[in-house]
Amino acid sequence: MSNPFDEEDPFRDPQIPGVPQAAFTSNRSSPKRYGNNFGRNVASDDEEEEEFLAFPRSAQHSPYRQSPNIFARSTASMNVNKRMFEKTPNLTYGGNTPRSQYTSRESPKRQRHTGILISDDDDSENEINFDGSPSKSLMGKSIHSSQRSERFLEPPQPIFSPETFAEANTHEPGKNDNDDQETVIDDNADNEYDYDYDTYQKVHDMESKSLYSDSTAYTGASYSTGNDNRANDGSEYFGNSIDGNVMQNIENGYVPKREKTSTKRKVRVIGGKAGNLVLENPIPEDLKKVLTRTESPFGEFTHMTYTACTSQPDEFIEDGFTIRAAKYGRETEIVICITMYNEDEFAFCRTMHGVMKNVAHLCSRHKSSIWGRESWKKVQVIIVADGRNKVNENVLQILTATGCYQDNLARPYVNNKRVNAHLFEYTTQISIDENLKFKGDEKNLAPVQVLFCLKERNQKKINSHRWLFNAFCPALDPNIVILLDVGTKPDVRAVYNLWKAFDRDSNVAGAAGEIQAMKGKGWMNLTNPLVASQNFEYKMSNILDKPLESLFGYISVLPGALSAYRYIALKNHDDGTGPLASYFKGEDLLNLEENKKKSNKTSFFEANMYLAEDRILCWELVSKKKENWVLKFVKSATGETDVPESIAEFLSQRRRWINGAFFAALYSLRKSSNIWSTDHTIIRKFMFTIEFFYQFFNVLFSFFSLSNFYLTFYFLTGSLVDNKKVAGGFWIFTLFNYLCICCLTSLFIVSIGNKPQASRVIFKTLVILLTVCALYALAVGLYFVVDTINSYGMGDSSTYVFVSIIISLLSTYGLYALMSFLYLDPWHVFTSSIQYFLMIPSYTCTLQIFAFCNSHDVSWGTKGDHYSQEDKTNQYIIEKNDKGEFEAVVVDVNIDEVYLDTLYNIRTRRANRKVKQSRQTSSPLEGEDYAKDVRTRVVLIWLLANLIFIMTMLQVYSPGDTGNNIYLAVILWIVALMAIFRSIGSLGYLLQQYARFFVVTKSKWRYRKNGYAVPKTHILN
């Protein structure tokens, strides 16, 4: 066959040297004759077919070349001699010619698409050209084909240069260069044809798209002049990117097998001490076929490591267990921990796919001195599932599809020792998005080191963090630890921006990202008033509260959904005290067995306090002895999370938040003097003191929020009593006053005796009635503002005090809008502010009442599992063989069959929308009688304090004397001053960020101007 890079090609037109010309036409010898006689002697030149077999010269506007990808597909779909499927024919060339130079520099941009027709599966060998392409007619249609590929895609970039082609071709130039000579295939001459397309593709895919990516398919209709029906996209020949490659393994008629093939075998235990079970297991073949990388000195792409961990988290290292990344000797910069309970596969894929994209972003930062192409080796992703019998089975199938889990390996015992955690380690190259679509290197994703820790029992989230900080982090010794909750979708730069906050300031111990409410497609979720109100609350917290606290250096809580810690700051002191020791103290208090033994007043308050254990950790970091750690807010690190969409879920979530925040605030205020034993500067300590006073007023204001709400409602709506312009004002006021009292009383009764899941209708009705009361108060307030302004304009100075009250109230909400515009994020003001203002009574009354009435419930909504009496015959037995090696008997299930079943299940769930699964209600705690008694006392004290305050104010002021009500003026001015204080802090944070930006920009400009080189190593890392 002639060489496409050869200047002496007999089929080339002698026009411009070095420029590829148009396709073959009928006025010269057709190459099809060699395809018809492939594998035998050519009979005669007279048998040549003289029909038009290619594209007209007029239809071509720029030079084209055929992709080897199309070459492989067109030949693979034909029923040809078996030799054709194993080896492709050699193509020789005559050296570095002008044509090859032009091709190597050819631009990938084309003026129009090349038309390549994918032929049907036909038994006729006459349809195979010697160049591997099917026959084509004038209009780009196959002579014998009934189906055509009609997909329009971008043309491919140049596939290979002549030098690459020469390295893959062993045929010597000058031998049998005349295509008219006899062509014979010798079955014994294996060394003569070493050009293996699969080998070439494996190398080529390391730096380009997948073989079956969207950009390598062409349509025969590119040169068609008519409007053809473009229904067939050629999907039966090749898949759509890596998702098509994976799913094409499942035939349309595939039915999962009920019973899988299983075999028993003895394996050599490869790691740990005697009694530690560590197994290397190959991944399914169907998964291996679609991987871009399979070569590794450690086999991390082709094998998954299983470890049956029988130790407790605190003894993980001492008992001889380790992690693959540590065993490989890799330096870990970032550990990303994802904790989950029983969330569904959609929420898990949303989070995991976001993490995969973040790792890919780190690998794309080629100019960085720390990150780059192979920086995925510096990132370890750890997934901790809280209980083998609690985790969602669909999530396990997702992990199976990516190679990170094999179900047949987990057993509860090893040598009669209970397994506490099952560790599955694999470096995956496959990601699955929330639509259950497979993604890979065609989306520029990088490999990710994944450790899936499946705990044998459900022991709550804080125990999952114990495995992270006390077991895995000591083995990896990372610089930064990032925490994520399943359901949170991090932005593609969130991980980098969090890491950069630690890289810039060496005294930063923790960083908080910005949590955003998931608004859905087209922001349709905001049509739910509950979601819209939470969206406004989250936004204003990220604009006012978090920047204020970040300016002072102490953030009261780093959200577990998206936060980061410096691992060295978390470590305890040599005497065992420190942040982690205080953090995990809550696990003992929340443990079931501990609650049986301890049922005293101290444990009750501490148990509520440790519902917000992340607040305790934040305080312990800032107040760490002889250290000067601070906490920062990183607004550029964003993450979306799904917020509760029903009243029941909303109450359950906020019950834990409110109780934990209240008792944790009391703890930090009580321990505030510890700040003076740190190494912070005097200015920083003074700023901390100011922040503590601010938090004290917040706690005090929150404690009396119920009475303040009712009194504000009473006096504001009572302005209609003596208003002669409104007929029946007294009766309207009386009606809504009694309605508000009935709602508050009902909330106490329902909150004490019922769970929100069991009283959905009652709670929803009460929330709606309180919203109606808020709407009435808003209408009365607006009417009274207008009436008061008119009276003041007519010379009535008695209402001047109340005018100032209204102005202060309006300035509070005006600051919300002003700061939102300054942060260039004002959309929530237009879409969610009204819903939030109407839901304020629910936030103030419903949440507070329900939280305090359930302060005896110190659970996370789940109960720790007892050790069940399991069959100990289902275990691994490790024995020493004659050679002194440790062996264990493993029952292998056919992983290829399991993998196909997993793909089948994923495909069937793609069309299903996300369905909320009802979570199991928590069982009552042990020692509940005492806890309920303490709960009753707390509620009585809180209720009596608010009632006494209400009765006092009602005796001092009458409802009709609103204009001269000093109490109302004080309350509203306090609200306004607190909002102003938050706005000043937020503005200071914003100015600080701008100042930092200008300093960094000026420094970079100066370095570039003076020609300074960027240091290769970072001084802090």
Judged by average pLDDT, the poorest of 76-80, 495-499, 839-843, 950-954 is 76-80
Sheet strands side by side (includes 875-876): 417-418, 413-414, 875-876
Determine the Cα–Cα distance for residues 956 and 674; give it in Å rounded to an integer.
Answer: 42
Task: Kindly state the percentage of the chain with pLDDT values over 90.
Answer: 28
* pLDDT tens track for 678-705: 999 999 999 999 999 999 998 998 888 8
Q: What's the pLDDT score for residue 876?
A: 74
Mean pLDDT across the chain: 73
- Local confidence band at 574 (pLDDT 50, 70, 90 cut-offs): confident
Burial class, 182, CB count within 10 angstroms (exposed 0-12 / middle 13-18 / buried 19+):
exposed
Lowest pLDDT segment from 377-381, 606-610, 845-849 = 606-610
Tokens of 148: 């055509």
With a cut of 90, say whether residue 165 has pLDDT above it. Answer: no
What are 143's two structure tokens? 């002579």
At 666 the pLDDT is 86
Q: Work out whether the CA dihedral 253, 256, 257, 262 comes out positive or negative.
A: positive
Provide the pLDDT for residue 722. 72
* Mean pLDDT of the 197-223 span: 35
Residue 366 reports pLDDT greater than 80: yes
Nearest to 246 by CA among 893, 894, 899: 899
Question: Which range is least confidently modeled, 646-650, 873-877, 943-947?
Answer: 873-877
Domain range annotation of the chain: 1-241, 272-487, 516-560+568-698, 704-857+934-984
Mean pLDDT of 238-260: 64
User: Does 405 score more than 90 pLDDT?
Assistant: yes
**557 vs 974, which has greater pLDDT?**
557
In whole angstroms, what is the distance from residue 134 CA to residue 371 CA?
46
In the prediction, which pLDDT does 264 show?
A: 62
pLDDT tens digit string along 989-1005?
888 888 888 888 888 78
Contact (Cβ atoms closer than 8 angstroms) between residue 211 and residue 205: yes
Range in 369-383, 922-936, 963-977 with the lowest mean pLDDT? 922-936
pLDDT band of residue 61 (cuts 50, 70, 90) is very low
* Mean pLDDT of all residues in 225-233: 37
Residue keyed to tokens 């309920």: 932
**Residue 963 pLDDT class (50, 70, 90 cuts):** low
pTM of the model: 0.69
The pLDDT of residue 247 is above 80: no
Lowest mean pLDDT among 133-142, 584-593, 632-641, 652-661: 133-142
> What pLDDT sits at residue 926?
43
Q: How many CA atoms lie within 13 A of 57 on its CB side?
A: 8
Residue 172's pLDDT band, with cuts at 50, 70 and 90, is very low
Give the least confident one: 242-256, 306-320, 529-543, 790-804.
790-804
Question: For residues 683 and 270, what is the distance between their CA atoms, to the nearest angstrom?
Answer: 56
Percent of the chain's residues with pLDDT above 70: 63
Which pLDDT band holds residue 738 (cuts at 50, 70, 90)?
confident
Decide: 778 and 837 in contact? Cβ < 8 Å. yes
Q: What is the per-residue pLDDT across 904-915, written as a single tens digit (0 to 9) for each? A: 788 878 766 544
